[in-house]
Amino acid sequence: MEVFTKKITLYHQVLKLNAEHKSIGLVPTMGALHAGHLSLIKKSKFENDVTIVSIFVNPTQFNDASDLQKYPRPIQTDMALLKNAGCDILFLPSENEMYSPSEKWDYEVGAIANDLEGVYRPGHFMGVTQIVYKLFTIIPAQKAYFGQKDYQQFLVIKHLVAHFNIPMVLVCCPIVREADGLALSSRNIHLSEPQRKKALLLHKTLSFIKNNYSKLPIDKLLQKVRTDFETEDDVQLEYIAFRDKYTLKPIVTINKAIVLIAAQVGNTRLIDNIMLD
């Protein structure tokens, strides 16, 4: 596995690979890798000649300074996982390498970024599009791989790619879960054992909806969900939403629906979702 820390060096390496007609898959991450990330790498390796993984904890997408400070950064463990997974190239830049002091970014995605996560994490998607645009410019790959757990983010990035006419295919890969259903997340490390058990309420909620949406109206489903969360201490529901999976607008038909959920478990914020069709 080759490791690059400089933008220009990696950019020229990618141009060389493209000139050799090598297909390239990019997996952007913030590190603290787990089996979910490894599934993206596996998918990329299956579909491309070369797989590039980036690790960069992007400061502009954090609206809470303490959240940025406590974000896990186990770089040596991550590098070992990447080598075992067969990653070809790791891009590991510093903050100074990615951002200049006077830099500005004013791209606005629009309505799709103003709801759900946009409400609870103001400015988050502005930072996401800023760093992703940089990565797509530095690494002109043919495909980029993202996890379904951050589904709204995936749709925001699709808007970015369309707006700037970036010739890259975006691939959304299924959520990877623990055996008990908990969606894998780098933030799970902050959960105590009792909190981890309480965090299962998110997946149980989505499973309940999946099993009952054809039997009960949406208002009854939501009433049951809110009651379940109100009776669980140390867990605070932020939102539960039925949305069109292509636009995230309120659903017209349940056959194109995704259900998205976010909650605070102790001091840890978790998100999850499930497709209904």
Whether the domain at 2-173 and the domain at 186-272 fall into the same CATH topology: no
- Phi, psi (5° rounding) for residue 144? -130, 145
Sequence letter at residue 214 = S
- In this structure, which topology does domain 186-272 adopt according to CATH? Pantoate--beta-alanine Ligase; Chain: A,domain 2 (3.30.1300)
Q: Which residues are designated catalytic?
A: 37
For residue 63, the model assigns a pLDDT of: 86
For residue 254, the model assigns a pLDDT of: 80
CATH class name, domain 2-173: alpha beta
Residue 3, strand partner residues: 90
- Phi, psi (5° rounding) for residue 49? -75, -35
What does the alpha-carbon distance between residue 144 and residue 162 come to, in Å, rounded to a whole number?
Answer: 14
Domain residue spans in the chain?
2-173, 186-272
For residue 109, the model assigns a pLDDT of: 87
Full pLDDT tens readout for the chain, 277 residues: 999 999 999 999 999 999 999 999 999 999 999 999 999 999 999 999 999 999 999 999 998 888 899 899 999 999 999 999 999 999 999 999 999 988 999 998 889 999 999 999 999 999 999 999 999 999 999 999 999 999 999 999 999 999 999 999 999 999 999 999 999 999 999 999 999 999 999 999 999 999 999 999 999 999 999 999 999 999 999 999 999 999 999 997 787 999 999 999 999 999 999 999 7
What does the alpha-carbon distance between residue 277 and residue 266 come to, in Å, rounded to a whole number?
Answer: 32
**CA distances, 156 to each of 125, 153, 257, 271 (Å):** 7, 5, 17, 16
For residue 78, the model assigns a pLDDT of: 98
For residue 266, the model assigns a pLDDT of: 96
